A and B are shown apart, each in its own frame.
Chain A
Amino acid sequence: MRIVVCIKQVPDSAEVRINPETNTLIRDGVPTIINPYDLHALEAGLQIRETAGGKVTVLTMGPPQAETALREAIAMGADEAVLLTDRAFAGSDTWATAYTLAKAVEHIGADVILCGKQAIDGDTAQVGPEMAEFLDMPHISYIRKIVDVAADKLIVQRLMDDGYDVVESSLPLLLTVVKELNVPRLPSLKGKMAAKKAEIRKMSAADLKADEKNLGLNGSPTQVKNIFAPEAKTDRTMLEGTPDEKVDTLLKELVRLKCI
């Protein structure tokens, strides 16, 4: 089984803030991590390899620094890693990112592609399903359990708002996974040694034979107009006085609003 796991290196989002004066992101000193959902995708890939045999390739697109994330994935047990890095990929939205990753998968070859349900920096959950469309393969999102793996088909549980669906699909297939699926393993000592020595395969736009008009900012239908911190409500009332007076005023308002 050829298994490809897509990962993304992201800033630890709990620590990202906006500078109110310049309206820009403050990411100074914010550590980068493998997107947490992708660790569950990787774990699922490793488990499929353990039962069905085959090879796990981790794939990412990003600046050269993203190599660190790939080495971490090898330490966890991935067999090989591919880094898509090129100036031409800069400014990609989800469409251009999915196109680029799909091009890489055409070179690598895949029976099962696994992605985290979304990345914690963008939260869009779009790249996985978009890749499946570019590769003309089915996909199933929000997988919480892999019920059965056969040579030509997979049965999974898909998490929904009101419960779950049991869904069956032919291969090749792309899955996006949620945290409930598994507990990601920690890197082993052997894995860490392998990660140090591993050769990371780097691919550029030219290596992918990608259509330039589909890459980077140029290939992105969406653009960011601006970023901002949320606005203040204009009609708010701050209640004044001693705590006792504040509560009395509040009580009057609650009665007026017919909440009591």
Chain B
Amino acid sequence: MYIKVKSELCTGCEACVASCPYDAIVIKGAKAEITELCQLCRACMSVCPEGAISEYREASDEKETAQGRGVWVFAEQREGRIAGVSLELLGAGRGLAEKLGTEVSAVLFGGTDHDAKELVRWGADKVFHCDDPGFQAFNDEPYAALLSKLITEQKPEIVLTGATPIGRSFFPRVAAKLRAGLTADCTSLEIDPETKNLLQVRPAFGGNIMATIFCPHARPQMATVRPRVMKRGTYDEARIGEIIKVSAKGIASRTKVVETVKEVSELAINLQDANIIVAGGRGMGNEKGFQLLHDLAEVLGASVAASRGAVDEGWIPYRHQIGQTGKTVSPKLYIACGISGAVQHLVGMQSSDVIIAINKNPDAPIFNVATYGIVGDANEIVLMLTKKIKDLKG
């Protein structure tokens, strides 16, 4: 593919020159020209008022789409515990499989027969289970080798896992080996009704922008999905599925886990399990303003969290941070006070059931995800709300 300016349409207005992030457009003889610095980002195509810039396909762009069938979920276990995100993906995977008229399979490395049965109850039609003791602890190479082998044999069309330290580390190896497309940290998955391609939405540029990624030809289509953005499916104790034992014969590892050390603060768990979260941002003004949130949290029995802005100001420690570089939460109620709502914050909380946003700027992006919005001074509103709840409770 290449991008070219139709010189007969170009008026030399230079709008494209300004739009190019790579300085790849020059004006020559009052016409725009794309140089070899072009990275094919297409930014110029939409800014041209004359529609003079287009992409052109070459013969080498035409490829056949590989075949595949079935939606797979890699079920991550660590020290015998199945990750919550794996159960969420079984729910999401079912939705995708129904649109494709196919089935959902889980892949489990390590873990027990009981774990495999649980995956069926959470929605898997089939479970590929390797209970080789060498697969109990996570090592990238053998995990990647065995999953690649299974995919090559069974040819699923979609393979998903959680965007956890494990999934994000070994899925790229599988994608490299299989020449498959892999999209990281997805927040939404859809099936394109026409092409049946998997449309994968993810934040980019630190979360300032969302991008939809797809794999036009390569199969399987692989994605890691952020925890707590998809809802679990229904647990059905009576559901029957097929459990297929998988051998790890001949698969070696050059890395070895010598020791596993737990280091989780109580608070991190509390925050992710909280029913109500009161969160504050820079809009609280100062440390004293931020303190009002603790009072509100107390009367609500809520946990206190923060946007990156408030953490950067030093009003609250980093472990309370919600968002792209912090934690992802989905409580029943999320009260965002003085948080403008940059996408990197939104990706960490937008799947909360009810979101209340309080901000003085009526155009703040936080209102885009809010269930209830209040335009006003966050300090004043929070103070008033705390008092009224106290009065109500007597």
Contact = CB atoms under 8 A, between A and B. Distances in A.
Interface string A145-172: 0000000000100111111111111100
Interface stretch (A69-77, A104-112, A183-191, A240-248): A240-248
Interface of B: 1, 18-19, 21-24, 36-41, 43, 46-47, 60-61, 78, 137-141, 144, 164-166, 168-173, 175-177, 179-185, 199, 203-206, 208-218, 253-264, 276, 300, 324, 332-333, 343, 346, 354, 356, 365, 367-377, 380-381, 384-385, 388-389, 392-393
Interface string A231-260: 111011111000110111011011101011
Given A129-B169, A133-B172, A141-B165, A247 B381 contact: yes
Closest 5 pairs (CB-CB, A-B): A221-B181, A221-B218, A163-B263, A91-B40, A222-B181
A155 to B, nearest CB: 7
Contact of A121 (B36, B170, B176, B204): B204
A233 B332 contact: no
Given A221-B217, A222-B215, A243-B376, A140 B255 contact: yes
A98 B171 CA distance: 14
A233 B334 CA distance: 15
Contacts of B41: 25
Among B185, B204, B212, B300, max chain A CB count under 10 A is at B204
Contacts of A22: 19, 46-47
A142 B172 CA distance: 14
Contacts, number: 283
Interface of A: 11, 13-14, 16-18, 22-25, 27-28, 63-65, 87, 90-91, 93-95, 98-99, 120-134, 137-142, 155, 158-170, 176, 213, 216-218, 220-233, 235-239, 243-244, 246-248, 250-251, 253-255, 257, 259-260
B40 A247 contact: no
Given A138-B140, A138-B141, A223 B175 contact: no
B392 A251 contact: yes
Contacts of B206: 13-14, 16, 120-121, 123
Given A139-B169, A164-B261, A233-B370, 13 more contacts: A16-B208, A17-B208, A24-B46, A65-B23, A138-B255, A160-B78, A165-B258, A167-B256, A226-B212, A229-B209, A238-B367, A238-B374, A239-B373
